């Protein structure tokens, strides 16, 4: 077994040397045939030649092998047909060469058949792999087209979502601005209402103070008149007239204050009505703001989902 390994190694070394000496493909196949047959006693076949040399197409070793056997047969005939060789030896040599030629041809044909079968199997394998690769490429192209279509749809949805987000953001800014203005107006009306209440309270206190002072003045005059009734009836009459005048004046002032009070109350009612309307508008705008905020959040969520 070691001898075979050594021979194979030596054979491979000598074949590499022949490759350097004979760069032409036909020449190297011819020389390897000679080396195998005459030096190592190995019957060359197309399959073996191709395994050792591995040059050219698969038909190259078969052609080289056929030429080798033809040359060998021709050279053998020349040697056998010499006149100085006995007839029996010539016949025996001829039979040997014919048998050798037949066996060599069978071996070469078998090697060439194996080579063709192997090549055919490789070709079929490559064709099948090529067909599968084309099918995979077609599938990948379809998937690529579908992915591009989905990408276009996603970009369109993203653009629409961005536009909707921009529109809702603008609307929200306007709503917030309107809400701020309404809050300022409400605060102004509330301050006006507070000021009106304070003014009314002050006026009412003034009317009450005037009535109280008039009442005190009346009581004082009445006491004074009672004390002086005996001394000056004329003064009493005068005081009665003055008291009557004061009462009339007090009634007029009271009536004026009451009218003013009614006006103030009406103004307060109007202000309360406006405040109620503003509060209603404020509630409605707050509801719209919540809806817009919800839409905006939904749009942002869709935009994030699509981009992802």
Task: Tell me the pLDDT tens digit for each residue of 62-114.
Answer: 999 999 999 887 766 545 455 555 656 655 665 565 566 556 556 655 654 55
Residue 56 to residue 60: CA distance in whole angstroms: 6
Rounded to 5°, the CA angle 269-272-273 comes to 85
Q: Region 232-246: what's the mean pLDDT?
A: 85
Q: Look at residue 169 and tell me whether its pLDDT is greater than 70.
A: yes
Separation in Å, CA 11 to CA 1, 16, 46, 160? 15, 9, 17, 77
pLDDT at residue 160, as a whole number: 82
Q: Look at residue 26 and tell me whether its pLDDT is greater than 60.
A: yes
Strand, helix or coil for residue 54: coil
Give residue for tokens 């010499």. 82
pLDDT at residue 29, as a whole number: 94
pLDDT at residue 6, as a whole number: 43
Q: Look at residue 3 and tell me whether its pLDDT is greater than 80.
A: no
Contact of 254 with 207, CB cutoff 8 Å:
yes
Q: Region 165-191: what's the mean pLDDT?
A: 82
> If you ran DSSP here, which 8-state letter would residue 238 be given?
H
Contacts 24+ apart (CB under 8 A), 291-298: 292/168, 292/171, 292/172, 292/175, 293/172, 295/164, 295/168, 296/165, 296/168, 296/169, 296/172
pLDDT at residue 1, as a whole number: 42
The pLDDT tens digits for 197-232 are: 888 688 778 868 876 887 888 688 678 867 876 887
Give residue for tokens 């058949």. 113
Who contacts 257 (Cβ-Cβ below 8 Å, separation ≥6)? Answer: 203, 204, 207
Q: Region 141-147: what's the mean pLDDT?
A: 83
Give residue for tokens 């009612």. 269
Q: Look at residue 147 and tell me whether its pLDDT is greater than 70.
A: yes
pLDDT at residue 107, as a whole number: 60
Residue 91 to residue 142: CA distance in whole angstroms: 75
Residue 242 to residue 143: CA distance in whole angstroms: 112
pLDDT at residue 242, as a whole number: 87
pLDDT at residue 108, as a whole number: 53
Q: Region 163-188: what's the mean pLDDT?
A: 82
pLDDT at residue 125, as a whole number: 63
Q: Give the confidence band of 2 by pLDDT, cuts at 50, 70, 90.
A: very low
The pLDDT tens digits for 31-72 are: 999 999 998 888 899 999 999 998 888 889 999 999 999 988
CATH number of the domain located at residue range(s) 157-307 in this protein: 1.10.287
pLDDT at residue 130, as a whole number: 60
Residue 262 to residue 100: CA distance in whole angstroms: 146
Q: Look at residue 292 and tell me whether its pLDDT is greater than 90.
A: yes
Q: Look at residue 5 and tell me whether its pLDDT is greater than 70.
A: no
Give residue for tokens 């508008």. 281
Residue 77 to residue 226: CA distance in whole angstroms: 188
> If you ran DSSP here, which 8-state letter would residue 39 be given?
I
- C-alpha dihedral over 70, 73, 79, 81, to 10 degrees? -110
Contact of 34 with 18, CB cutoff 8 Å:
no
Residue 188 to residue 179: CA distance in whole angstroms: 14
Closest CA to 107 of 200, 22, 45, 33: 45
Domain ranges of the chain: 2-142, 157-307
The average confidence (pLDDT) of the chain is 80
pLDDT at residue 135, as a whole number: 73
Q: Region 119-124: what's the mean pLDDT?
A: 55
Residues 237-257 as b or e (16 or more Cβ within 10 Å = b): eebeeebeebeeebeeeeeeb
């Amino acid at each position: 077994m070691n001898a075979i390994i050594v021979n194979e190694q030596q054979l491979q070394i000598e074949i590499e040397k022949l490759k350097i000496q004979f760069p032409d493909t036909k020449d190297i196949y011819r020389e390897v045939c000679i080396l195998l047959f005459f030096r190592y006693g190995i019957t060359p076949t197309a399959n073996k030649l191709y395994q050792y040399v591995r040059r050219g197409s698969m038909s190259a070793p078969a052609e080289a092998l056929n030429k080798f056997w033809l040359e060998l047969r021709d050279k053998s005939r020349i040697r056998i047909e010499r006149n100085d060789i006995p007839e029996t030896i010539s016949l025996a040599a001829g039979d040997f060469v014919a048998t050798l030629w037949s066996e060599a041809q069978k071996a070469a044909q078998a090697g060439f058949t194996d080579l063709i079968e192997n090549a055919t199997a490789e070709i079929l394998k490559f064709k099948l792999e090529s067909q599968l690769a084309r099918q995979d490429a077609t599938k990948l192209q379809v998937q690529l087209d579908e992915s591009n279509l989905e990408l276009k749809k996603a970009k369109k949805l993203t653009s629409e979502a961005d536009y909707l987000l921009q529109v809702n953001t603008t609307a929200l800014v306007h709503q917030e601005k309107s809400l701020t203005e309404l809050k300022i107006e409400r605060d102004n009306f509330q301050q006006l209402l507070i000021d009106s209440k304070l003014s009314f309270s002050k006026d009412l206190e003034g009317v009450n103070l005037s009535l109280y002072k008039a009442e005190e003045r009346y009581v004082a005059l009445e006491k004074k008149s009672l004390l002086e009734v005996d001394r000056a009836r004329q003064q009493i009459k005068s005081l009665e007239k003055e008291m009557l005048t004061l009462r009339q004046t007090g009634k007029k002032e009271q009536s004026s204050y009451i009218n003013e009070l009614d006006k103030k109350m009406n103004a307060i009612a109007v202000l309360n009505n406006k405040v109620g309307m503003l509060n209603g508008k404020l509630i409605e705008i707050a509801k719209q703001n919540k809806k817009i905020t919800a839409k905006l959040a939904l749009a942002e969520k869709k935009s994030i989902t699509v981009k992802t």
